[in-house]
Structure 1
């Protein structure tokens, strides 16, 4: 990125001492960018309020970019997203195409790290277009390589190959050895993957041609990586070469490359890359009929991935371990691996849902800040409503993930919202609030995302500790929904926090009683109990309507607000509830 002009230190713009401090922070972060970008994060944390006070869009854009970059390189993808998005808006506004390109490339990496590969690809393609327009060949090549990696992660090796070849050609032209080494590794490994797929289709000639083309590239990559002491690149290329030799039927050569890959990975203390090599070795041993050898390699790979914290890759290893243990007739070990796999997949699923929620929230914050900074109040209101709807939809999906484990159908949340809204309308609540309640009530149990399955789905009586943990879903849900300038989400927060309070003050989490409990909490309390009793759950059958009504009547004045129960009985008596029995 280009050097920016020195900041104006005149009193008319900002106090001289503060401006000089901002200049010093920026200069230090710029110097660290090439090799120690992580240092820029803390420096820009201090610089950001100074840059905002200065009011200069160019300076603020650079501060936000360096802040986002510093967080990105330390793996804080969510923390990086907001500053980079805001920086992109500012670079676009001031017409800084280079700044746009740099920001878009890093945003692509951030979005890929958050699992949003489609948006990552869009961001990287936009970055490549801008680098091409500026004539920045090396940056264009690096971006093409990133785009190819996204395609490869999606299994689109045919789309990845020409991009890797383009990047390799640019690095060769520039005599950039490190880039050449990675380019050769990527092109060779991609050709090996294409060969495997050609072989699976029965196209042996195409498979052999791809393998024969791949090997010289991988050999050259190993030579360059060895010369530059880039042990990760050596290990990666040697593993791909081992796979190529194995597919060509040259077992001794394949073993030799495997040994070289492991030695390089260990030399670089790179556990994840060694695990990648051992996963390939396990595949080869399995195809040769050496099940015990394959199990040994996979077990070693799992230990390495656990130590590296590479949990997504561990899922792949566990799946293969289940198959191999079954193949070996060891059902006990297969079941143990299956349990580990199930636990890990559930944890990753929940983390993925939470990450998507945080990403949506970050996008919401960035867009709202942009709109407010333009002082277009009418547009802010319109866009806020649109963003609120999008944000709510994401939260609702997360609530369904939480509820789906606990109810036979994900429709539970919608039924609770519908009944709560009908009760509110019957009690004369204004129609705008009824409309909001119909939506907000769907999020009443969103906090259950934090309750483990073995407790939430337990068929027997809960222990006191387990019951205490179940009760935390109210406060967790309120925390997830809190901190927003949104009447809809404020209502949802209130419901999540209070729908398990009781009229007699014996509920949780705060022991509120009577009209100290917000009306929306009292309404959802009745709607939730009705639907829970009338639906199938893992630990019970659905109750008949008459028994459900009787149970709710018995709670009048103790568990439930008498007025709300009265409205409920009116809906039942007039046939407006349940749906399908004359109701709506």
Structure 2
């Protein structure tokens, strides 16, 4: 890795021999009389202003004039700034290869000029384009180099931009823990600097996208609305377009079709006004999905055809795959099975060439549906088998990655806790005992609160997949605490159980949606796979030193054991089952009975109470059932337990 702090420059600060070859021929074409330094500087400022206003076509023409002027004068540093500005324009126009070339040339010239800030900026911008192109490893290399240089030079705003971009790359990779760490660090820097730049707006958008991925729609909406307000205040049309698209996708995911359609249309109009073809693809794709959800299939079909044409013109291969799949889905929804075959087969071929297995198995699934509709059952079976094979491969990889990430996250948190406690104990021996003990108590409380926050987020991440509100885990925690209190547990243990019970189904992170959300009865192989969530949850929570994690692990493993010994995964019976798991088993089943699930409607309380009575001594510990019925008799079930 090159050290940008050691970049050298010619003694006179002018272009060296061979620099001409780095510049685009168009920038060297003679035109009007040469510009003075002041005139070239004015062109550069004008071009930047046009870019901020979203007038990209005008901006590139003015910036090329400025580039010609600075080249003729031999001024390296402002010439690098011209190239950086042009690279931004090309990036936003979707001309990614051209953008990468401009950023690389700018970096080379800035190194010769000794302009370390411009070098770091070029690395950051090049990484942003590499990430769009899917080259995440190269993007992270550029960002790591740029971050080290920015910190050495004390470039706080540039450091914030790099941290934000790194968070965006980790988000694209599905590494939510690293994404949150980088995005929060960027947010704190932007807040401390009091900036409302495009970087700060992008950071708000990325935080919103992260919380949307984690199922926290309320927090996501909060960040998106902040970003929209900031972009309007700054008069940044391009940023407004991006935020509107993210807001539209949020409402699309929530099934609020009218709001999603309005926002997609607004974003599309702005994208067309600004000449942002890539944004057209994103918003047309969203509009097509809305029309399909509303049953407006002809309109959806026309929209997907437009999306496909633009994606092909831009060379956006991933956008092309999505458009082809959506086009096939539209034909299928209209019963046009023969016409669906062409785009779906093309999507499959393109996905296979790019190594995109997720899109490939979706194409197989739709092709199975098309062939079945045409009565070609042999071909349908072939695609059905390929769909399941690829889905299993992707699921196994993602399940392993998620488990590994969560295990590493908990290990890291434990290591930090232990290191901090060791430091404070050492301090206790060196300083006054009372002062050090007070610090230990305060730090322990802070660490416990941070640990509890991680646990709550982890519980929500597992639960939101089959409970859009995420309230199931909270209700099970509250009811478990009420039952334990009725059984005479001490209050500290009651509070511990209330938190630990929320993680009873954390292993569902490793179960495919096709099984988890299936409305009908599971087949034997599917049920066997569903049972694995107890082992997955236990593995994620294993090795913890805290009482909270230890109790959560025994609950995750044993909450499906039965009092009569016929449960799973270990076939434990009676008091062999940990009491915490016996309590959660009753709370979990009662809450599932009383609330609607994908496979059943909600039961009335009287029917649920009768079922608990029937299962007492068979599925459940009779003493726990009696305590639960006492909670219901006292009317505490509706009131809930204090947080």
TM-score, normalization: structure 1? Answer: 0.48
TM-score, normalization: structure 2? Answer: 0.45
